[in-house]
């Protein structure tokens, strides 16, 4: 019987990510942290070299490659059993990452930035995640507006799913992410979590990324480093609404929280 959930550990090889920027710029430090995430229960390691926090500036291809490729090569050579994901919107970065050992592409633009990325995923038989984002990281939090955030996000994800399938990606290789915090207000984020089952009805696995995000701070009054309890609560709620993949910084406590939730909410 397949596991009821998978955890994606966050490995930001960046100087400016909102929560852990600068901590893992050194390849050896990044490798050590990745292996720790795997020991804690991460089934997927999501390696990113370009921050997507609100207001983030783009990173040149050469710099992004310099950051991520050595880490992925080291993970592949070091016997990691976790699936390696490349968090990028750029075809050259994804191609180099796959050559280094990645088998999963996590694209926050859902192949809108570089449509040819879908062809790489199809040709190399990779898994992928397509995320909803309003605008781009630099502008996405400037007065985001929706007629109905859940309906709008659902229509977007259905359209991008159809695009990916038309590009030759088998549907079973595709996961979807509503993009919590990506061009959404706190109320938008809460509405998406409240009605997540409507997105689960699309029929593809849902990935949720709420770890330490600012809307949790607005609710609780906690700073970034003190949002673990809020992160766990939001993820367990998402699990009860149909999410099955969870992108987080703190893997071990979430594994325990979801294990308890799975033993109760989804018990046979």
Count Cβ atoms below 10 Å from residue 267 Cβ, excluding itself.
Answer: 7
Predicted confidence at residue 110, as pLDDT, reads 97
Residue-wise pLDDT for 49-81, tens only, equals 998 877 778 899 999 999 999 999 999 987 789
Catalytic residue among 6, 154, 247, 255: 247
* Calpha distance 35→24 (Å, rounded): 13
Predicted confidence at residue 17, as pLDDT, reads 47
Instruction: Count CA atoms within 13 Å of residue 150 on its CB side.
Output: 14
* Calpha distance 72→49 (Å, rounded): 11
Predicted confidence at residue 267, as pLDDT, reads 52
Q: Tell me whether residue 213 is one of the annotated catalytic residues.
A: yes
Q: How far is CA 209 from the centre of its chain?
A: 6
Token pair belonging to 232: 């766990």
* Calpha distance 246→240 (Å, rounded): 13
**24 has a pLDDT exceeding 80:** no
Helices (H), 108-250: 116-123, 149-166, 186-194, 196-200, 214-220, 228-240
Q: Tell me whether residue 247 is one of the annotated catalytic residues.
A: yes
* Calpha distance 66→72 (Å, rounded): 11
Sequence length of the chain is 268
Predicted confidence at residue 56, as pLDDT, reads 74
Q: Is 84 helix (H, G, I), strand (E, B) or coil?
A: strand
Token pair belonging to 195: 């009605």
* Calpha distance 175→234 (Å, rounded): 19
Q: Which residue has the tokens 């991008």?
A: 160
Q: CA–CA distance from 29 to each of 108, 156, 174, 249 (Å)?
A: 25, 37, 31, 15
Catalytic residue among 154, 195, 213, 227: 213
Mean pLDDT, the chain, integer: 91
* Calpha distance 124→263 (Å, rounded): 36
Residue-wise pLDDT for 147-192, tens only, equals 999 999 999 999 999 999 999 999 999 999 999 999 999 999 999 9
């Amino acid at each position: 019987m397949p596991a009821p959930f998978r955890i994606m550990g966050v490995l930001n090889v960046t100087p400016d990510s909102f929560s852990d920027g600068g901590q893992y710029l050194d390849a050896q430090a990044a490798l050590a942290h990745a292996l720790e995430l795997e020991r804690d229960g991460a089934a997927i390691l999501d390696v990113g070299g370009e921050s997507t926090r609100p207001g983030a500036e783009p990173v040149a291809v050469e710099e992004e490659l310099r950051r991520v490729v050595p880490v992925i090569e080291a993970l592949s050579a070091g016997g990691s059993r976790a699936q390696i994901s490349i968090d990028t919107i750029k075809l050259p970065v994804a191609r180099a990452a796959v050559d280094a050992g990645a088998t999963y592409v996590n694209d926050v633009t859902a192949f809108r930035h570089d449509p040819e990325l879908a062809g790489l995923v199809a040709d190399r038989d990779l898994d992928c995640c397509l995320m909803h984002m309003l605008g781009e990281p630099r502008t996405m939090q400037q007065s985001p507006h929706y007629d109905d955030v859940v309906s709008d996000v659902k229509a977007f994800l259905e359209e991008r799913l159809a695009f990916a399938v038309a590009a030759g990606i088998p549907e079973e290789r595709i996961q979807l992410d509503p993009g919590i915090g990506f061009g959404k207000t706190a109320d938008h984020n809460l509405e998406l979590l409240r009605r997540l089952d409507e997105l689960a009805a699309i029929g593809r696995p849902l990935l949720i990324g709420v770890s330490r995000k600012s809307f949790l701070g607005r609710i609780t009054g906690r700073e970034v480093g003190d949002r673990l309890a809020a992160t766990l609560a939001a993820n367990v709620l998402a699990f009860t609404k149909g999410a099955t993949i969870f992108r987080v910084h703190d893997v071990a406590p979430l594994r325990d929280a979801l294990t308890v939730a799975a033993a109760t909410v989804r018990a046979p």
